[in-house]
Structure 1
């Protein structure tokens, strides 16, 4: 099997190496940064400079990310090329959090209170007027430091004013009302006929140290397992199956939630791509690294 990995952020070295160990030929595209070439995986995997020139070569085109090239890749997928990943439409469920919340609401999934903003001043005025405790989540591939769980309205206002003062730019962000509870997520792999795997329940751990001590990180680790039955999936993911098929989504979809003390799940966000580091853990659970992707196409 010939696999082209279009990986702008250089996330999929492990996937490439696993695929090669199973006999696949792999070509890996990484988007270099203005300050210079990314050296991750040098000497381990064949790298290519222009992914478009290798589309005809590939049996499978794997997308580890969904932030760039999506409109161009949609055109290739529409021409019948074996692209395994999100499309431009379903990527927006994650990149624009309000779009994702609208999708859930349209399928009768209960949502917590939240407002979308494109201005720090308007967000500050909103928090001052409501005096609520909020969680801030940025849109798109933004600075992770803009994700913040406030301790109260004064704390949230302080952070918003700090981001404004230091020039933190973001295409938009959502303020969701703080909901105490347990954070959990459920996902599944999607093929052209619907969900193509058992449910994948998972728990992220974001604090730097054990026992939830220390500052938040992007993610320190994840507990993952597959299960044939999931009450959480029945409530927040199964209702979307037909819509995911009609939308042409391929690959992983995941909904993260807060579960309150009454057992009610309140959605936080979508992930419309392989998650990191969850995908590295999932690979250890899969029977093969990539052949099942090609079969699902």
Structure 2
């Protein structure tokens, strides 16, 4: 029997790397019972002391009122659990494929009559090098399958002859050889990178829609290596031409595949049109925590309503939300020695007792102290909100100033792109 909606509930989180800690902790603080399972053994300590941890999530299925999966790849389990009558927030085998198999994702876009950028798939670096030499242009190297988790391997070329791409392909050939798996070369297009996302309740997309600008490079002004993410800025809207041209067209397909969760598509847009790049058919990180900063209803309640197929408008703040990761060595690389030397068990020190807008990432709690754990060094996400982007940035920066993390680094320009991006988006009629 479904519980009455506003009573405390039992939330079971099934996590790949413990990324979801902040959400689990927030939902516990809203008065619910929470259990967290983490699959990756190097991440096992994440969340200790914050929430109750379990070693085998399957033993707690009957206990749970709702199961929340935080990553792609669990689609089959989600489908089986839903078929057994459980309330599940997560993917499906179809949405797993959308994200994990780039070819499949691109073909589905074409099938839904959405224009895509030309790309070619390769299994060998040598073939790819020959291709670029014969077809000089600016390209993006995109790993597929398992390798795409290593975000620093994504390479965006800037040379119009493709010389930088050739150099990187040669380096990958030396260091990876045939172990790299398949990858794509996609023609690079200049424009604004923007993503639109929404929660889907099995029947329709819920409003408002979220519009996010990601900041992927390690250093300010988009310098340095790709990290996957250093921070994002966002806002919520009821209507978006970019959403209408992309995700909206998948509504019937998502109904057919009984998807109940969150889905995001990132695009490059310019005066010529909207070009979808790839899907994220799960929570985005740190997107979901910044979304939480802008959602004004209890987040546990909201996720339960989505997963149980209810139709409602999500209560959100007006204006903007921003968030920046505070990271420590060896981020964005994995290097056990460096992590143990500089970062393992380092304490997060709070100058004030205020923890509002400070989201625990790869942390554990010991004697009420927040300590860094895991192995890649993402300590905190700090968020700010405001009616203007400047206001949101100011709030975030004040909060960053209220914590001390030894050897930490973070981007100081999250949200700055908005000023220029918004002008371009307005002039192209895309806001």
Give TM-score scaled by structure 1 length.
0.93
Question: What is the Cα-based RMSD across aligned positions, in Å?
Answer: 1.6
Match of 1:132 in 2: 137
1:198 aligned residue (208, 212, 216)? 208
Q: Which runs of 5+ in 2 are unaligned?
A: 1-8, 309-431
Shift of 1:141: 4.0
Match of 2:94, SS state, is helix
2:15 aligned residue (7, 22, 25)? 7
Once residues 292 and 14 of structure 1 are traced to their aligned partners in structure 2, the CA distance between those partners, rounded to angstroms, is 16
**Per-residue deviation, residues 204-229 of structure 1 (Å, max 9, x unmatched):** 01233333344432211111111001
Match of 1:223 in 2: 233
**Per-residue deviation, residues 138-194 of structure 1 (Å, max 9, x unmatched):** 123422122000133221111112112102633322211010111111111001111
2:193 aligned residue (164, 183, 186)? 183
Q: Which runs of 5+ in 1 are unaligned?
A: none
2:285 aligned residue (257, 276, 280)? 276
For the structure 1 residues 43 and 92, does the alpha-carbon distance in structure 2 shift closer, same or farther, using more than 3 Å as the test?
A: same
Match of 1:160 in 2: 169
1:191-270 aligned within 5 A: 191-260=201-270, 262-270=271-279
Once residues 286 and 40 of structure 2 are traced to their aligned partners in structure 1, the CA distance between those partners, rounded to angstroms, is 22
Once residues 146 and 50 of structure 2 are traced to their aligned partners in structure 1, the CA distance between those partners, rounded to angstroms, is 28
For the structure 1 residues 32 and 269, does the alpha-carbon distance in structure 2 shift closer, same or farther, using more than 3 Å as the test?
A: closer
**Per-residue deviation, residues 230-278 of structure 1 (Å, max 9, x unmatched):** 0111111111111111122221111111112x15111111110000001
Match of 1:93 in 2: 98
For the structure 1 residues 274 and 123, does the alpha-carbon distance in structure 2 shift closer, same or farther, using more than 3 Å as the test?
A: same
Q: Retained in 2: the 8 A contact 1:139–1:170?
A: no
1:50 aligned residue (29, 47, 56)? 56
Give TM-score scaled by structure 2 length.
0.65
Which of the pair has the greater relative contact order for Cα pairs under 8 Å at 6+ separation?
A: 1
Q: Retained in 1: the 8 A contact 2:202–2:255?
A: yes
- Choose 73-82 or 5-14, whichever is displaced more: 73-82
Q: Retained in 2: the 8 A contact 1:184–1:204?
A: yes
The structure whose Rg is larger is 2
Once residues 156 and 108 of structure 1 are traced to their aligned partners in structure 2, the CA distance between those partners, rounded to angstroms, is 30
Match of 1:148 in 2: 155
1:75-90 aligned within 5 A: 75-90=80-95
Match of 1:24 in 2: 32
Q: Retained in 2: the 8 A contact 1:192–1:250?
A: yes
